[in-house]
Structure 1
Amino acid sequence: MPVRKLLSGLIGGMTPAGRFRHACRLLERADHSVRGFARLGQMAGSGMVAAQYQVACAYLDGIGVPRSPLEGMRWMHRAASAGHVEACFSLALMLLVDPPGQDGADSLLPTAWPEGIDAWPDPVAATHWAGQAARAGLPDAQALYGYLLATGPESVRDPEAAGIWCARAAQAGCPQGDLALAVNHLCAPDQPPGSNPGAVAALLRAAESGLPTAQYMLGLLHERGWGLSPDAAEAEKWYARAAAGGVRPAQARYGVMLLRNGRGNSRAIMAAETWLRRAALAGDREAAALLGDLHACGKAALPGDHEAVTWYRMAAEHDHAVACRMLALLYIQGRGVASDPDQARDWLQRAAVLGDVAAMTDLAATLLDRRDTPPATPAQAAAPLPDFRAMAQAGDPVAAFNLAVSLHRGVGCAADPAQAAMWMERAAEAGVVNAQYWYGRMLLAGEGISASPSQARHWLERAASHGLPEACIAAAQARLEGYGGPRDHAGALAFYHRAAEAGRGEAMFSLGAMYGGGHDVPPDRTQALHWFTRGAQAGNALAQFMLGRYLAQGLAGPVDRAQARHWLAQAVAGGVTAASAELDGMMLADDHAAP
């Protein structure tokens, strides 16, 4: 008798339970999984509940059959409805998370839920199914049921029952039960965190058993002294373990503690950034905002304004008020992005709506800067400017800056140059970069204060060190002319580079002029042509004029008279009178050269 026929006869003579076990073994083998699934599918269709559960798992995992969340949910619901304990528990877990493929990775997303499923996720239905599995004696389900009774929607909450079910799971040796006990205590509104020694002991057991969420919570208790003596070293240890386990808040807290305890150590900063990045990329807005701070303040391992913009934007898009304000300031200063007052005002508006008081005052300053521009909406026209004096007198440096602007321009109050200079100095001393620039300009012009070229240069360069484009240009000019200190053409060149990289066309023109010769830096006409080209493309009329000259005369490459005429014409339109004569000369030469 052939072997295949013999095996077929033996399998055919098996009991249903034997055939089920054999099909499961086939499913586990990669080379026979399709056959195993086919046999389980037949049994599931005939009503075998255990097979229905296995078919559901196969569809969800894509074993022996193409992955399908819809079919997985349908068979899981069928098995759970028939009383399969593990299916009830699995269905509860499934209903607590978003459907697979919410990120667009799964093209088999259901357009309609299986019969009996009204929504997904559905914490109320999840509580029902967890309860069925819990009453059947499954410890993990008891822990989940207790957790949902403690923290779920109001319609299912029952703190007393939550404690009972969490205790049952814990008594059965289930770490999740210990965790649920601790969570139930921490969520209780009438008990200070950590005040229940039993809950703290349960949390410790859950953490030591390897549950990352419990490890994170234990780190919190150690850090904040909830039921335990404050212990930063223990907190850091537990945060580290939870961070390695993928707990996003733990990654953020661990990064913060590494920064705090590293005291500027470069290796600690790099490790901290690594964990903060993981948390931020997983959606932690506080971590993203902190990364923005590190880069904006130059404390990151490799600081960069573009990085600061990226992280602040990530936090701001998750409604982090301070990140919205900081992103606006970068747009104002042109750090990491081209200077854009409209973008700055939009982000300040968002920060103000989120309740950031400093953003409200910054927003007022941007409105002051645009006092001659008609308001975009009637609401903007009707909006009164806030009274900055009280906040400034209370020590708010941004309010001091805004008050100084108001007094300087006589907007919302009588102009008072001396008072404006006094408040601007206070804001500058407190580190407000825009105030440092403004105060430098006041000292240059002697507005409300005796002119002091050396002090003006000092404040302009402080503002320029933060990358404020206007300050970079003014500081470069002071160094170029030796105003308020010795001439320093190399230093001027560096400041012009910062302003140019922020998109300022006048700085691009100045770089072209410096590289073109006649300054205490090595001439480089290739660089001059590069910066004149960038300045011309940015709309600077003088750069357009010089680019036309370079192209007409071939000063840094081949002659291109057509392009030269184009840029000279642009310069003429921009008001450069010398360009008109240059253009006329070119046209006259072309006429003489014509046959």
Structure 2
Amino acid sequence: MPGASVHLGTILISQEKYTEAESLLRPRADEGDTAACRVLGKALDGQGRRDEALPWFVKAAEAGDNEAMVFLGLAAQNDSDLATAETRFRKAFALGGKSAQIAGVFLAMILSAQARFTEAEPFWRAAAEDGGSPLAAHHLGHALLAQDRAGEAEPWLVQATEDDYEGSTEARVLLGRALAAQDRADEAVRWWREAAAVGSSEAEYRLGFHLMEQSPSEGIDWLKRAAQAGESLASSRLGVHYAEAGQYEEAHRWLAQAAEAGVPTAAYILGLLLIQQERPQDAEEWFEKAVELGVPEAAEHLATLRGQVAQSQSAAAAQPDGQRADEAFTAGLRLRDAGQADQSEASFRSAAEMGHADAAMMLGVALINRGSGNEGMAWLRGAAESGRSSGAALTLGLLLKEQGTLDEAESWLRRADEGGQSSAAEELGKLLHGLDRREDAEPWLRKAAEAGSAEAAGILGVQLKDQGRTEEAWAMLYQAATTGYALAATVLGLMCLEQEHEDAAIKWWQYAAQAGEPIGAHTLGTVWEQRGRIQDAIAMYTLAAGKGHTDAIAALNRLRVLGF
């Protein structure tokens, strides 16, 4: 019986007896049996022979096998070929059958990740209506909300909150947003409180933002919790609050934190605040940041400010060419910010030839970026060796590190730190850590962590954990996890599990997964699979697989073999 071979081959694959399955299935596949082609592809893939497996999946897919088409879509997705993956998932969905729904879900995930919510909507709707999946209801609600269809989104998001699954907390946040968009803020607060109670930083932010007018003290408390968990918009809102209250030191702290995290308006507002405090040189830095983040109004302030700073510097210049060099350097910065690369380079060259060290650094970087590496390195090295540009020392150190010239990189990073470059300590600590000079790395990583670097805190936390310094490790990892370094949350989960606190471990892995950290997502997927929550496990494995996590890819393949 032809079907018996395929059935037995499927059983052998489920038992990871791939070689036996291959021997059984190959004769049927050679005869053109579609199902045998697909299952033979699985047997070969299970042995790590992906290149041999793909032609069999293609053969099965061309014969109308949608499960094979789904596999081909996943293979393209794992290779980051999203256009091909999208085409294959669409074909699998159109073919119908038992794999059509999962093809639709994978397709909807790709479309949603690209903010193509209108296109994703029918695929999420099909999964939500046909299978009753809370995850699909969640994403359908999100897609509708993204299209400003809050009223339609509401019932789907309510459905998504009725089951306890990975993502139900986010569904509560989205439901609150849908209600708020319909001017039902009191109902929204209820859902945000529920989500905040289980650690949703976005819910904390939205709750705090809403309460600022009704109950400012409670609103500030929620915003601080959200900001400490890495919600940069919460930091920005706190900065505005303290600026309006005249508490400028607190305002500066929160706005700087938000601006460093990429909030454009925070950088701009901080620049305005510093101008009011008559701190033009400090304001320049933040206006420049705002321009980089896309705030057009900041460019006008920056140009005016740089002209004032240049005049001040020129007045103090001792050398006859000092004023002209400063003017050329300032013009180079202005042209660079305006996107006029060739003119900017010419201005930097003019200033550099008159001895302006920072201009020499900028010229060197421009030349390296356009492929003139030797000349660029010569200018950059000259600027660093002059001792008048700590920024050049930092840039040279980073380039040498990238090129593998580590001893010299270390020397320049040390000089950059001595010159006041705040990021040099972190880079030096990471360099020494990578060289396994842990004792040398620790003080530099600690210095960077104390200055607010989440990554430095995370690296130091792992180092301390490996050394058995558990309490110190926990403190560092907690700081890193709650300020944006998601891998630290994964490690905290493992530490909780080592102490047999599985519920606490799961919360940390959920935190990591929500931030897109693949190891945490894969680990959480294994927990959900062990507990029989297969759809939640698939969601986590899919997230991790999309980041290239090989064990997650293997887990998805295994679940597909089992019929999920």
TM-score range, shorter chain: 0.3 to 0.5
Bigger helix share: 2
Q: TM-score w.r.t. structure 1 length?
A: 0.42
Which structure would you say has the larger Rg? 1
- Tell me: higher relative CO, structure 1 or 2? Use CA pairs within 8 A at least 6 residues apart: 2
